[in-house]
Amino acid sequence: MAEMASDPIALASAADTRPVEAVSPAYWSVAKRVGFRLSFAYFSLYVLSNQMIGGIIPFFNVPELGNTRAGQAVVLWVAKHVFHIGYTIITTETGSGDRTFDWVANFCIVALAILAAAVWSIVDRKRENYSAMYKWFRLFMRFALAGQMFGYGFAKIFPLQMPFPRLEKLLEPYGNFSPMGVLWSSIGASQAYEIFAGSAETLGGLFLIFPRTAMLGALISLADMTQVFLLNMTYDVPVKLLSFNLILFSLFVLAGDADRLANLFFLNRTAAPERARPLFRRAWANRTAVAVQIVFGFVLIGMTVYGSVQEVSQYGWKAPKPELYGIWNVESFSVDGQERPPLLTDTQRWRRIVFDSFGTIMVSGTVHSMDDMTQRYNLQINTAAKTFVLTNPSDKNWKATFAFQRATPTELVVDGTMDNHKIHAELAQFDVSKFLLVSRGFHWIQERGLNR
């Protein structure tokens, strides 16, 4: 016993090294057997169809079934002939997990799982239980869930998922925010809370790695994903399908301990020790299996952290900013040599330009007109030539080229051509620290609350 106490692998695998003969496989009811077949088919298809497969196989570029030509053909056929959808269905990645394609794909997975479970139930109707298969499938489910918890957790620990509000957001009227924009900006403005939320998600994944703490990891993951699902539903975040399915994943991992949890939380009874679920008959084999699980789990963590660090340098706070980064208010503005041409509308006159950055490759520029209309452009800056080019994402043939000069770090003169008109503008840089959201910070002592 003293030797085991000093051996972490022995402690982690103690529940898995008890003799298999000590627990006789029980007879499963028809409902339990059918439920397992349906769960096995559904969750397996779901993992293979989307981003989850990449979360548990980090070293290989495994194609998602939903992105293969055959998979898309099936989904599009069902959309047309079953749901009679007449509009064009987007199959490319848009950042949304709730596209029409995703909903129809999930329907196809449910339908295929029901069909597979029905055929399986007929062919294997004499089977008394799936105890052995359940142990291995639960292991698969633990790591599938852990991969997602690590992915989303570290995206918040390295505040990437919800960054601090961009320059354009600092200027935008609150009433123009989308519900999702409100959520993203409010959490991004409190990076300490975002890191805390990411740590909770990562903790759930970490406990899922170890067999002895898998139930605790699933409970934490269930709480995390329930909150995330509610936020997605109430702030219209397009990850509703995935977050709901991750709730189902957590519930499946917990299903084997449902009676123990019911005794502890609801029935005021003594909860029995965790059931022995050894993967093998030999103690050494189970110890090896636990060691492999732990090593693989930390490999997943390492790969996720490495990817997050890379993204921080490309898209996060360490990403290089363009030379003209900042908010520039227009002091004077003329078109074809005239400050107020007769046909010039407020929409055509500039009020400010915002040069923002989303990474080393894609940089954005935003032009605000006098009536607060906003036009976004892709921006390419040639620092050596002192020029920048604006292109319109919605019009590939549109382009405007400008030369710029900076008499002082906070003064900018711009000359160029846009829409066949010569533009001259003189701008002054706005001090971003004047925004209360940027400068307020944290205070232990507050004589009065500052709620503005």
Report d(CA 304, CA 58) in Å as an integer: 9
- Residues 222, 247: contact at Cβ < 8 Å? yes
Q: Which residues of 208-241 are buried (b: 16+ CB within 10 A; e: fewer)?
A: bbbbeebbebbbbbbebbeebbebbeeeebebbb
Report d(CA 399, CA 419) in Å as an integer: 8
Q: Where are the alpha helices (DSSP H) in 82-213?
A: 100-123, 131-157, 167-171, 179-189, 191-209
Q: Which residues contact 196 (CB under 8 A, 6 or more apart)?
A: none
Burial class (CB in 10 A: 0-12, 13-18, 19+), 432: middle
- Residues 429, 326: contact at Cβ < 8 Å? yes
Domains annotated for the chain, with CATH where assigned, are 2-314 (no CATH), 326-434 (2.40.128.20)
pTM beyond 0.85: the answer is: yes
C-alpha Rg value of the chain to the nearest Å: 28
Task: Give me the tens of pLDDT residue by residue for the chain, a chain 452 residues long.
Answer: 344 444 544 444 444 444 444 455 689 999 999 999 999 999 999 999 988 988 888 766 777 888 899 999 999 999 999 999 999 999 999 999 999 999 999 999 999 999 999 999 999 999 999 999 999 999 999 999 999 999 999 999 999 999 999 998 999 889 999 999 999 999 999 999 999 999 999 999 999 999 999 999 999 999 999 999 999 999 999 999 999 999 999 999 999 999 999 999 999 999 888 877 889 999 999 999 999 999 999 999 999 999 999 999 888 888 888 889 999 999 998 988 887 665 555 556 788 899 987 644 445 677 777 667 788 888 889 989 999 999 988 888 999 999 999 989 999 999 999 888 899 999 999 999 999 999 999 999 999 999 98
Measured N-to-C along each axis, helices 240-255 and 258-265 cross at an angle, to the nearest 10 degrees, of 90
Q: Which residues contact 153 (CB under 8 A, 6 or more apart)?
A: 198, 199, 200, 201, 202, 203, 204, 205
Question: Backbone phi, then psi, for 418, in 5-degree steps?
Answer: -140, 125
Give me the long-range contacts of 279-285 (CB less than 8 A, separation at least 24).
279/16, 279/135, 279/136, 279/139, 281/20, 283/17
Distances (CA, A) of 115 to 34, 42, 43, 108, 109: 12, 10, 14, 10, 10
Structure tokens at 373: 């209309």
C-alpha angle 87/91/60, rounded to 5°? Answer: 170
